[in-house]
C-alpha cells in the first residue's frame, strides 16, 4: 500500500476550478449545439477564471502562515494566492477580449485551452519543488503553444505557434537540465531542502542555477532570451497575446522570485548580479528595438520586454520591498497590457488587417473611449501620473535604491526616457486624421459600421479602472503585496 | 480648500470631455469653471493669514510604507504663484474660446486639466505629489502642442518632451533617493540633505523647466509652434513651477549643495540673461522676442533666488508674478497680431498696426513698457529687489542685471515699433480691425492686474514670506 499524501483541497481549489472549467468547456464544444458552443465555452471559461480568482482570494485570506502541502510539492501561501488572483483576473479579462474574435472553428477548444493555461499558471506559482515547477511550466506552455497556432488559416499564427514551440521547448529543456544539475548537486528537489543541502560554491549547483534562471528568463521574456517574444506576440491571435503578455509574466515572475529566494539564498550574491544583468539587457534591448517598430503588437511586445527589465530590477533588489514592488508592479502592468492589446484587437477587427502606426490615424476620434483608454495605458507604460505605472516604477526604484543598486535606478530612468519616444509616437498617431493610407483602409468589415463589441469595451474599462485605481488606492494593494511578500524568506 | 482649488479644474475637465456639448458651450463651460476657480482663489486669499507659514493644509496618507502622503497647502508666495496661474489660465481659456479652436471639447478639457496640475504643483508639500503634478502638467502640454500646434509642431513637441522628461526622470531618481534617505517624502517633515548629486537631479529638472542656459533648446520651438494662449501659459506659468521647485525643494532642502553650487548657478543665470536678451534683440518675429525675453527674465528670477537672501528671494516672487502676467499678455498680443496678418508675426512682414487700431496700440504699448521694466512698473519692482538682493554676492552681478534691463529696453522697443509703427510694403489686410470686445475682455484684466501690481508691488512683496525670521528660515535659508 502506497501512502498517499494528505490533500489540501483549498490550496488546489483555484487550479481545480480552472481545470474543471477547461474540461467542461471542452465537453461543451462537443455536446452543446453548434450555435451555442462559443457562448457556452466562453461563459464556462469566464466563470472558471472568476471562480479561481475568488478561491484564490479565500486562499489568501486563509493562508496567513505559509506551509508546504501535498508532500511538499506545493506551497500554500499568500504569495502564490496573490499571484493566482492576478492571473485569474488577467484570464477573465482575456475571455472578454476574446469574445469578439468571432472564430468559427475551435471556438470551444479556444476557451478550454485558455482555462487550461490559466490552471497551469495558478499551479505553477505555488510550485515548491523542481518537479512541480517543471510540470506547471510545461502545462501552461503547451496550452499556449496551441493557442498561438489556433488561427490555422493565418500563416503568421502558425508561424507564431511553431516559433513559440521550438524556442519555448528549448527554454524548457534548459530549465530541465538546470533542474537536473541542481538535483545532482544537492540530491534534493524541494526548494527548501535545496537551500539547506547546498554547498555554496559547488560548480554543479551554480551551473544548475544559471540554467534554471535562463529557462525562467525565456518565460518572462527577458533579454537576451526574448527572441521569440515579438514574433509570437505579433502572430498569435491578439486576445492570446493579451493573455500571454499579462498572465505568463505574472506567473513566471512570481515563480522566479520564489525559487531564487527560497532555494538559493546562499547564492544571493551571484544571482542578484545575474538578474541585474538581465534587467539591464532587457531594458536596453526592449526599448531600443521598440523604437523602430511600426506594427503595434510588435511594439508592445518589445515594450513588454522592457517592462520585464523593470520588474527584474525589483527581483534583483532581493528584499521585502523588492517583493512588494514586483507584486504591485504586476497589477497595473497586467491591466495596461491586456487593455492595450484589447484596443489593438478592436482596431484589427475594425480594419481586418494588423494595426500599425500607419493605420491607427484618427482612432481617437472614431472610438473616443477606446482611444482615450489607450492613451491612459500608454501613459501608464511610460510611468506617468494618474496611472499605477508611475507608482510601480517608483516602488521598483525605491527597492533598488534601498538594496544599494543605485546604478540600476539610473539605468531604469534612462530606459524610461527612451521609451517615451515610441509610446508617444503611438499616442500621437491616434490623433492625426485623414492620413491617405488610413483612409484607403477606412471601409470597415461589415458595411462601414464600426463593429460593436461591448465585452471588449468592458474589458478595456476594467483595465482602465485597475490602471487608474492602482494609482489612487495604493495602500490596499500594497497591503496585499506586503502580506504576500512576507511569505518569502528574504 | 486647497484640494478644491486643484480638483475644480480637473472635474471641469472631465465634464467637458465626457458631456457631448456643442463646441461653444463646452468652451463657455470651461471659462465659467475658471471664473469660479478664480473666485475660489480669492476666497483662499481672504482666508489666508500672511503672517503665518504653511496654511490651508490638506493631508491624507497615500501609502504608508514609504511615508508618502497626499499633502497640499500654501505658503504666501506659493499662493501668489497659484493665483497668477489661475488668472493666466482663465485668460488663456477665454482666448481659446474666442479663437474657436478645433475639437473644442478636447482642447478646453486639456487646458483645464493643465490648470489643475499647475495649481497642484504650487500646492504640493510632498515630494511624490509634487512629481505627480509636475509630470501631469506635461501630458496636456504634449498633446496641446503636438495636435494644435503650428507647422513644425511635431519637432517642437518631441524636443519639448525629451528635454522636460529627461529632466523630470532625473528628478524622480532624486526624489526616490532623497525620500528614502530621509525616511519620509513629506516636504514639511523631511530634513536637509547634503548630497550634491541629489540636488543636481532636481536642479536639472527645474533648469529645463525654467529654462536656464544651457537647457533652453526646446524653448523657441515650443513657444513659437504652440497656439498663442498655450505659449502664454507655458512662459507665464509653467516656467514658475521651476521657481517653486527651486525654492521649496532646492533651497529649502539642500543647504550645503546650494552654497557649493551657488556660483555656478549664478554664472549660468547671468549668461542666460545676457544671451537670451541678445537673441531677443536679433529675433525675427514677435513670438521669438517674447520667448527669449521670457528666458531672460526667468534667468533673472533664478539669480534672485540664488542670492539666498530675503530681499532677492522676495524680488524673485514679485518678478515671477509680474512676469507671469506680462509674458502671458505679450503672447496673447502676439496671437492677436497673427490673427490679423494671416498667422505670421514676422517683423519683415508686419508693421504699421497702430494706424486705425487705437485700443490695440495702447495695450501693446502698456504691456511692452511694463515688460521693459520702466521705473514704476511691477517688473521694475521685482528687478530692483532682485538686483538689491544679488548685490550681496558682488556688485558685478547687479551690474550684469542692470545691463540686461538696458538690453530688455532695446528688444522691447524694437518689437513695439516693429508691430505698431514701421510700415512694410506688405500692409495688413484692410479688413483687420482693432481688438474685438472679446479680445479686450481677455487682455484688460491681465493689464489691470499688472497696473495694480505696478502701483502696489508691496501687495506681494510683503505677503510672500512671514515676517518672523525664524519661520522664514523654513523656506529661505
The count of other CB atoms within 10 Å of the CB of residue A201 is: 10
Per CB distance under 8 Å, which residues of A are interface residues toward B?
A: 321, 324, 365, 372, 379, 384-386, 390-391, 393-395, 397-398, 401-402, 406, 409-410, 413-414, 416-417, 420-421, 424, 428, 431, 474-475, 478, 482
pLDDT at residue B151, as a whole number? 82
Nearest residue of chain B to residue A478 (CA atoms): B63
Secondary structure (H, E, C), B213-244: CCCCCCHHHHHHHCCHHHHHHHHHHHCHHHHH
pLDDT at residue A366, as a whole number? 84
Q: How far is the alpha carbon of B175 from chain A, nearest alpha carbon, in Å?
A: 9
More confident residue, B252 or B351: B252
Of B65, B136, B154, which is closest to A385 when you measure between CB atoms?
Answer: B136
Q: How far is the alpha carbon of B64 from chain A, nearest alpha carbon, in Å?
A: 7
Cα torsion angle, B35, B36, B40, B46, sign: positive
Q: What is the mean predicted confidence (pLDDT) over B43-68?
A: 88
Using CA atoms, how far apart are residues A253 and A312, in angstroms rounded to an integer?
8
Integer-rounded Cα Rg, in Å, for chain A is 21
Of B64, B142, B176, which is closest to A394 when you measure between CB atoms?
Answer: B176
Instruction: Decide if B136 and A379 are in contact by the 8 Å CB cutoff.
Output: no
The count of other CB atoms within 10 Å of the CB of residue A171 is: 21
Confidence of residue B473 (pLDDT cuts 50, 70, 90): very low
Task: Assess whether pLDDT exceeds 90 at residue A363.
Answer: no
Task: Assess whether pLDDT exceeds 50 at residue A439.
Answer: no
ipTM: 0.90
Q: How far is the alpha carbon of A208 from chain B, nearest alpha carbon, in Å?
A: 36
Contacts of A321 in chain B (CB under 8 A): 65
Q: What is the pTM of this model?
A: 0.92
Secondary structure tally for chain B: helices H, strands E: 20, 2
Contacts of A397 in chain B (CB under 8 A): 172-173, 176
Per CB distance under 8 Å, which residues of B are interface residues toward A?
A: 17, 61-66, 103, 128, 131-133, 135-136, 138-139, 142-143, 146-147, 154, 157-158, 161-162, 165-166, 169-170, 172-173, 176-177, 179-180
Contacts of B147 in chain A (CB under 8 A): 428, 431
DSSP B354-397: TTT-HHHHHHHHHHHHHHTT-TTSHHHHHHHHHHHHHHTT-HHH
Phi-psi group of B476: left, alpha or beta (phi > 0 → left; psi -120 to 50 → alpha; rest → beta): beta
Q: What is the mean predicted confidence (pLDDT) over A56-67?
A: 89
pLDDT at residue A489, as a whole number? 86
To the nearest whole number, what is the mean pLDDT of chain A? 89
Of A372, A416, A421, which is closest to B169 when you measure between CB atoms?
Answer: A416
Q: How many CA atoms lie within 13 A of A333 on its CB side?
A: 29
Instruction: Decide if A413 and B131 are in contact by the 8 Å CB cutoff.
Output: no
Of A321, A391, A409, which is closest to B173 when you measure between CB atoms?
Answer: A409
Contacts of B139 in chain A (CB under 8 A): 379, 384-385
Percent of chain A's residues with pLDDT above 90: 66
Take residue A160 and report the three cell numbers written for it.
507564431
Of A365, A372, A478, which is closest to B63 when you measure between CB atoms?
Answer: A478
Instruction: Decide if B146 and A390 are in contact by the 8 Å CB cutoff.
Output: no
Of A372, A395, A417, which is closest to B169 when you measure between CB atoms?
Answer: A417
Q: How far is the alpha carbon of A368 from chain B, nearest alpha carbon, in Å?
A: 10
* A-B contacts (CB, under 8 Å): 76
Take residue B195 and report the three cell numbers written for it.
548630497
Instruction: Decide if A431 and B146 are in contact by the 8 Å CB cutoff.
Output: yes
pLDDT digits (tens, 9 = 90+) for A264-296: 988 888 999 999 999 999 999 999 999 999 999
Instruction: Decide if A475 and B162 are in contact by the 8 Å CB cutoff.
Output: no
pLDDT at residue A440, as a whole number? 46
Contacts of B142 in chain A (CB under 8 A): 424
Task: Assess whether pLDDT exceeds 50 at residue A15.
Answer: yes
Using CA atoms, how far apart are residues B397 and B383, in angstroms rounded to an integer?
12
Q: How far is the alpha carbon of B132 from chain A, nearest alpha carbon, in Å?
A: 5
Q: What is the mean predicted confidence (pLDDT) over A221-245?
A: 92
Instruction: Decide if A397 and B65 are in contact by the 8 Å CB cutoff.
Output: no
pLDDT at residue A200, as a whole number? 67
Instruction: Decide if B176 and A417 are in contact by the 8 Å CB cutoff.
Output: no
Task: Assess whether pLDDT exceeds 70 at residue A181.
Answer: yes
Q: Would strands A74-76 and A67-69 be described as parallel, antiparallel, or unpaired? A: antiparallel
**SS3 category, B49:** coil
Contacts of B137 in chain A (CB under 8 A): none
DSSP B248-282: IIIIHH-HHHHHHHHHHHHHHHHHHHHHHHHHHHH
Confidence of residue A89 (pLDDT cuts 50, 70, 90): very high
Judged on CB neighbours under 10 Å (0-12, 13-18, 19+), A61 is exposed
Contacts of A431 in chain B (CB under 8 A): 143, 146-147
Q: How far is the alpha carbon of A297 from chain B, nearest alpha carbon, in Å?
A: 23
Residues B75/B81/B84/B86 CA torsion (nearest 10 deg): -70
Contacts of B132 in chain A (CB under 8 A): 385-386, 390
pLDDT at residue A5, as a whole number? 76
Contacts of A390 in chain B (CB under 8 A): 132, 135
More confident residue, B51 or A61: A61
Residues A386/A388/A394/A396 CA torsion (nearest 10 deg): -170
Contacts of B17 in chain A (CB under 8 A): 372
Using CA atoms, how far apart are residues B397 and B273, in angstroms rounded to an integer?
11
Instruction: Decide if B176 and A397 are in contact by the 8 Å CB cutoff.
Output: yes
pLDDT at residue B350, as a whole number? 79
pLDDT digits (tens, 9 = 90+) for B169-211: 889 999 999 999 888 899 888 888 888 999 999 999 999 988 8
Instruction: Decide if A390 and B169 are in contact by the 8 Å CB cutoff.
Output: no
Triad A304, A307, A308: Cα angle to 5°: 90
Confidence of residue B156 (pLDDT cuts 50, 70, 90): confident
Q: How far is the alpha carbon of B135 from chain A, nearest alpha carbon, in Å?
A: 6
pLDDT digits (tens, 9 = 90+) for B265-287: 999 999 999 999 999 999 888 88
pLDDT at residue B430, as a whole number? 57
Contacts of A402 in chain B (CB under 8 A): 180
Judged on CB neighbours under 10 Å (0-12, 13-18, 19+), A210 is middle
B25: CB partners within 8 A, 6+ apart: none
Q: What is the mean predicted confidence (pLDDT) over A236-261?
A: 94
Phi-psi group of A86: left, alpha or beta (phi > 0 → left; psi -120 to 50 → alpha; rest → beta): alpha
Amino acid at each position: 500500500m502506497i501512502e498517499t499524501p494528505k490533500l489540501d483541497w483549498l490550496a488546489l481549489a483555484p487550479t481545480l476550478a480552472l481545470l474543471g472549467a477547461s474540461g467542461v468547456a471542452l465537453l461543451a464544444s462537443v455536446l452543446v449545439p453548434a450555435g451555442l458552443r462559443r457562448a457556452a465555452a466562453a461563459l464556462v471559461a469566464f466563470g472558471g477564471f472568476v471562480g479561481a480568482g475568488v478561491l484564490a482570494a479565500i486562499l489568501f485570506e486563509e493562508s496567513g502562515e505559509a506551509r508546504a502541502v501535498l508532500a511538499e510539492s506545493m506551497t500554500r501561501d499568500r504569495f502564490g494566492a496573490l499571484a493566482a488572483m492576478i492571473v485569474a483576473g488577467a484570464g477573465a479579462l482575456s475571455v472578454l477580449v476574446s469574445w469578439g474574435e468571432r472564430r468559427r472553428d475551435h471556438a470551444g477548444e479556444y476557451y478550454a485551452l485558455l482555462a487550461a493555461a490559466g490552471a497551469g499558471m495558478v499551479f505553477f506559482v505555488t510550485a515548491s519543488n523542481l518537479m512541480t515547477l517543471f510540470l506547471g511550466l510545461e502545462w501552461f506552455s503547451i496550452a499556449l503553444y496551441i493557442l498561438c497556432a489556433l488561427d490555422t488559416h493565418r500563416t503568421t499564427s502558425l508561424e507564431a505557434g511553431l516559433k513559440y514551440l521550438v524556442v519555448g521547448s528549448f527554454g524548457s529543456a534548459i530549465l530541465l537540465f538546470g533542474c537536473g544539475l541542481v538535483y545532482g548537486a544537492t540530491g534534493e528537489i524541494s526548494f527548501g531542502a535545496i537551500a539547506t543541502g547546498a554547498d555554496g560554491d559547488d560548480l554543479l549547483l551554480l551551473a544548475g542555477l544559471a540554467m534554471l534562471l535562463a529557462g525562467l528568463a525565456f518565460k518572462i521574456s527577458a533579454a537576451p532570451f526574448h527572441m521569440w517574444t515579438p514574433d509570437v506576440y505579433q502572430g498569435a491571435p491578439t486576445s492570446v497575446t493579451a493573455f500571454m503578455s499579462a498572465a505568463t509574466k505574472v506567473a513566471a515572475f512570481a515563480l522566479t522570485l520564489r525559487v531564487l529566494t527560497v532555494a538559493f539564498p546562499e547564492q544571493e550574491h551571484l544571482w542578484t548580479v545575474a538578474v541585474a544583468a538581465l534587467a539591464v539587457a532587457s531594458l536596453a534591448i526592449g526599448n531600443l528595438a521598440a523604437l523602430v517598430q511600426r506594427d503595434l503588437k510588435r511594439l508592445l511586445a518589445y515594450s513588454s520586454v522592457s517592462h520585464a527589465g523593470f520588474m527584474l530590477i525589483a527581483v534583483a533588489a532581493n528584499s521585502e520591498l523588492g517583493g512588494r514592488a514586483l507584486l504591485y508592479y504586476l497589477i497595473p502592468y497586467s491591466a495596461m497590457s491586456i487593455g492595450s492589446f484589447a484596443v489593438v484587437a478592436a482596431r484589427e477587427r475594425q480594419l481586418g488587417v494588423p494595426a500599425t502606426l500607419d493605420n491607427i490615424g484618427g482612432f481617437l476620434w472614431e472610438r473616443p473611449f477606446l482611444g482615450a483608454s489607450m492613451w491612459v495605458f500608454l501613459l501608464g507604460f511610460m510611468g506617468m501620473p494618474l496611472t499605477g505605472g508611475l507608482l510601480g516604477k517608483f516602488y521598483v526604484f525605491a527597492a533598488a535604491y534601498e538594496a544599494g543598486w543605485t546604478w540600476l535606478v539610473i539605468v531604469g530612468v534612462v530606459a524610461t526616457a527612451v521609451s517615451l519616444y515610441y509610446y508617444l509616437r503611438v499616442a500621437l498617431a491616434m490623433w492625426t486624421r485623414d492620413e491617405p493610407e488610413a483612409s484607403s483602409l477606412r471601409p470597415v468589415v461589415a458595411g462601414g459600421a464600426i463593429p460593436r463589441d461591448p465585452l471588449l469595451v468592458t474589458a478595456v474599462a476594467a483595465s482602465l479602472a485597475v490602471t487608474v485605481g492602482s494609482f489612487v488606492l495604493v495602500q490596499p494593494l500594497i497591503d496585499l503585496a506586503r502580506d504576500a511578500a512576507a511569505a518569502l524568506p528574504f | 480648500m486647497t484640494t478644491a482649488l486643484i480638483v475644480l479644474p480637473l472635474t471641469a475637465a472631465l465634464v467637458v470631455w465626457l458631456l457631448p456639448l456643442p463646441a461653444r458651450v463646452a468652451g463657455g463651460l470651461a471659462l465659467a469653471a475658471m471664473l469660479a476657480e478664480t473666485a475660489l482663489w480669492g476666497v483662499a486669499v481672504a482666508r489666508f493669514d500672511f503672517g503665518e507659514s504653511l496654511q490651508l493644509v490638506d493631508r491624507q496618507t497615500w501609502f504608508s510604507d514609504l511615508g508618502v502622503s497626499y499633502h497640499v497647502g500654501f505658503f504666501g508666495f506659493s499662493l501668489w504663484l497659484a493665483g497668477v496661474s489661475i488668472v493666466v489660465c482663465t485668460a488663456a481659456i477665454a482666448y481659446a474660446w474666442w479663437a474657436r479652436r478645433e475639437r473644442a471639447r478636447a482642447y478646453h478639457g486639456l487646458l483645464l486639466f493643465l490648470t489643475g496640475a499647475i495649481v497642484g504643483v504650487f500646492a504640493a508639500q510632498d515630494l511624490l505629489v509634487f512629481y505627480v503634478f509636475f509630470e501631469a502638467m506635461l501630458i496636456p502640454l504634449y498633446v496641446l502642442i503636438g495636435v494644435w500646434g503650428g507647422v513644425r509642431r511635431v519637432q517642437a513637441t518631441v524636443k519639448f518632451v525629451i528635454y522636460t522628461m529627461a529632466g523630470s526622470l532625473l528628478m524622480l531618481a532624486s526624489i526616490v533617493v532623497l525620500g528614502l534617505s530621509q525616511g519620509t517624502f513629506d516636504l514639511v517633515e523631511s530634513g536637509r540633505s547634503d548630497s550634491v548629486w541629489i540636488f543636481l537631479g532636481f536642479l536639472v529638472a527645474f533648469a529645463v523647466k525654467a529654462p536656464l542656459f544651457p537647457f533652453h533648446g526646446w524653448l523657441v520651438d515650443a513657444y513659437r509652434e504652440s497656439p498663442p494662449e498655450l505659449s502664454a501659459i507655458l512662459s507665464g506659468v509653467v516656467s514658475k513651477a521651476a521657481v517653486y521647485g527651486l525654492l521649496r525643494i532646492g533651497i529649502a532642502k539642500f543647504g550645503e549643495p546650494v552654497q557649493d553650487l551657488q556660483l555656478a548657478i549664478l554664472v549660468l543665470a547671468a549668461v542666460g540673461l545676457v544671451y537670451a536678451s541678445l537673441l531677443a534683440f536679433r529675433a525675427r518675429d514677435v513670438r521669438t522676442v517674447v520667448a527669449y525675453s521670457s528666458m531672460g527674465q526667468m534667468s533673472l528670477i533664478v539669480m534672485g533666488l540664488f542670492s539666498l537672501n530675503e530681499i532677492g528671494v522676495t524680488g524673485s516672487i514679485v518678478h515671477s508674478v509680474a512676469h507671469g502676467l506680462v509674458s502671458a499678455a505679450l503672447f496673447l498680443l502676439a496671437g492677436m497680431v497673427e490673427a490679423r496678418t494671416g498667422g505670421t508675426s514676422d517683423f519683415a512682414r508686419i508693421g504699421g498696426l497702430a494706424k486705425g487700431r487705437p485700443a490695440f496700440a495702447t495695450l501693446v504699448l502698456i504691456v511692452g513698457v511694463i515688460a521693459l521694466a520702466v521705473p514704476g512698473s511691477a517688473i521694475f519692482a521685482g528687478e530692483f529687489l532682485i538686483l538689491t538682493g544679488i548685490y550681496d554676492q558682488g556688485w558685478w552681478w547687479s551690474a550684469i542685471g542692470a545691463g540686461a534691463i538696458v538690453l530688455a529696453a532695446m528688444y522691447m522697443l524694437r518689437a513695439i515699433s516693429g508691430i505698431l509703427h514701421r510700415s512694410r510694403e506688405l500692409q495688413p489686410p484692410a479688413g483687420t480691425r482693432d481688438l474685438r470686445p472679446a479680445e479686450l475682455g481677455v487682455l484688460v484684466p491681465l493689464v489691470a492686474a499688472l497696473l495694480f501690481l505696478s502701483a502696489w508691488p508691496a501687495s506681494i512683496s510683503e505677503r510672500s514670506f512671514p515676517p518672523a525670521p525664524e519661520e522664514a528660515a523654513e523656506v529661505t535659508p
